[in-house]
Amino acid sequence: MSRELGYLRICAAVPVLRVADIDLNVGNIIDAMTKARNEGVQALIFPEMAITGYTIGDLVQHQALLSKAQQGLRRILEASTGNPMLVIIGIPLEVEQKIFNCAVALNSGHLLGVIPKTLLPSYREFYEDRWFTSSIDASSDTIELIGERVPFSADILFGLQGLPFALIGVEICEDMWMPLSPHEYQALAGATVLVNLSASNEVLGKADWRRIMVSSESGRCIAAYCYTSSGGGESSNDAVYSGHILITENGTTLRESDRMSSGLKFVISDIDLERLAHDRRVFATFHESSSQRKNFRIVETEVGDPIPGRLWRTLDPHPFVPAEPKGREQRCREIFSMQVSALAGKLSGAKKSNLVLGVSGGLDSTLALLVAVKTMDFLGLSRKSVHAFSLPGFGTTRRTRLNAARLCKALGVCFEQVSITRTCSSHLRDIGHSGKQDIVFENVQARYRTGFLFNKANESGGIVLGTGDLTEIALGWSTFSGDHISHYNVNASVPKTLVRFLVRWVADEELADSPAQKALDDILKTPISPELLRPDGDEITQKSEEVIGPVELADFYLYLFIRFGTRPGKILYLANEVRKQGLFDSQYTLDDLHRWLVSFVERFFANQFKRTCLPEGPKIGSVSLSPRGDWRMPSDAEAILFLEDLEEMFRKLQAYM
């Protein structure tokens, strides 16, 4: 399954170490290899000088230690026989009567290549040029090592057969910290996974610096970066080593170890190679740096496939909403400020001072109203410049009508309620419609409301503010030339799951203990509905999530499909993993996930014609469907191959159950 889904299972390990005790170190390394093999690891990374210890000082110049190190490497090589796993380990090697600080790559009893360190720190507590020679000064590009002729240089990348996007670049410690680091050239040459064998000591603040460095470098290179550093077994004569491990992917930290802890440190993560390949395709400027590209030798090797089961990767069930309350509050404040700033700019540019919008007592129009009010405050204009209209139709309930009125009154905007039932009934008669509750019955109301608002905007010299959110835009849950049209839409790139959190944030932070907060509390509890079908008494009968699916699923699917170009089959696999971990807000079966994903794909393709003529609106997050900016797609594109991919995965997941 790993190969099919495009994941690489990588592990960084820091075994228990004693300086110059090579037999003990090698034994612990082999134990870590066994553990990695049992977890289905495909690439295993050890620290710099892991076989001998980094802090051996002048002992590295002794033949006894150098010979013993090679004997230890032979033991490790023999232990790897029959185990198709790429292992990269640090060791000092004598080459050309010089000593090189090296990373050795091996697999299944064979040596693949040796990468000598390029940049040698010789400042403060470091003085590596006392012992080691830089890769720049090596004369040979192959060496004899343990009876094999092996590539030797910093120009080696390792390709993994069966994983087309897996190309691994290796550097050692200081190589990462300096400008024009080896990993930058490796990434430009196609490496998607960068590994660093390090012996970075600890000083106050260095761990934070390291996190920032590793994360930012993975983002700059659109790559995964696996960093593993020497641990507490190193000499503490003049420094402290913590065994810090970081695995990042395109700017995001996937896994991190504890520091200053005893015992084996062992961190596994599944790298999404397809995501990295997608972003390198999309961000074309990445390849425009190819003039700086160097030539690399690629050594191909084969790795196993992880056993089916756990995915070593944190899955976010609500990718548009920060999981941490503190982060969520900061995100909401930033988004709301962006919406206000964008709307203020639009009004100023259009030389308008009035806003017209429809308020339904639902989430989307509520958020648009809150943004409109804040914008007027920002511009120093009266809130009476916001003209809010409640336009109750056949399906409007007393609850939503009263909530809209209470909120507008509490916010101090101009508010008017105009029933549209008489006009819509007349129009239905004019077109010879029987009055049955069909698509015509629904759309007559939506289109009349839009026309009413545009006419009111003409009357006041203002602009019509749209309210539809990103989720509805993706699914086409709007009436063409009805509520999908406006002069400007501040919610255009805000998904439904985030709309809810934004309204909640405004209620609690901006409007706490006010009449407006009470109205917002009830709006947040109201079922999502366009209210275009007649209610049952005063109960909403038309519930959006019963038609288009749960919005948390729609947003999960949307984020993966647009942001990373994820195949529908893989989306289903990931959704099922989230389901099994109980991370969604509601309980779903695999059949539920499949049914709503089929619906998502079909709706997304069928409704591109609505997105082609969307009104303007600010891009807020990394996912946007603006036809002028982020998403260009023909309206008559077929969804067949996407649905086929989905069905194939669905059958496989059913077989696993």
For residue 575, count CB atoms less than 10 angstroms from its CB and return exposed for 0-12, middle for 13-18, buried for 19 or more: buried
Closest residue by Cα to residue 232 from 455, 460, 377, 17: 17
Q: CB burial class (10 A; 0-12, 13-18, 19+) of residue 300?
A: exposed
Q: Is 87 helix (H, G, I), strand (E, B) or coil?
A: strand
CA 154/CA 115 separation, integer angstroms: 5
What is the rounded radius of gyration, in angstroms, for the C-alpha atoms of the chain?
30
Helix axes 515-525 and 398-411, enclosed angle (nearest 10): 150
Cβ(408)–Cβ(359) under 8 Å? yes
Buried b (16+ CB within 10 A) or exposed e, 35-45: bbbebbbbbbb
Structure tokens at 449: 């409301």
Alpha-carbon distance of 363 to 298, in angstroms, equals: 54
Sheet holding 265-272, edge to edge: 110-116, 98-107, 86-95, 43-45, 7-14, 265-272
Main-chain phi, psi angles of 398, to 5 degrees = -60, -35
Report the b/e string of 160-185 with b at 16+ CB within 10 A.
beebebbbbbbbbbbbbbeeebbbbb
Say if CB 54 and CB 60 are below 8 A apart. no
Residue 30: CB atoms within 10 Å: 17
Q: Which residues are designated catalytic? A: 48, 117, 173
Q: Which two tokens stand for residue 134?
A: 């830089």
Q: Which residues make beta-bridge pairs with 194?
A: 169, 225
Q: Give start and end residues of each alpha helix (H) in 283-362.
A: 325-350
| Nearest-angstrom CA–CA distance, 443 and 424 | 10
DSSP 8-class letter at 309: S
Cβ contacts of 339 within 8 Å, gap of 6 or more: 371, 490, 491, 494, 618, 620
Backbone angles phi, psi at 365, to 5 degrees: -65, -30
The 10 Å Cβ neighbour count of residue 609 is: 12
H helices of 421-465, in order, are 421-430, 439-460
Burial 543-571 (b: 16+ CB within 10 A, else e): ebbeebbbbbbbbbbbbbbbbbebbbbbb
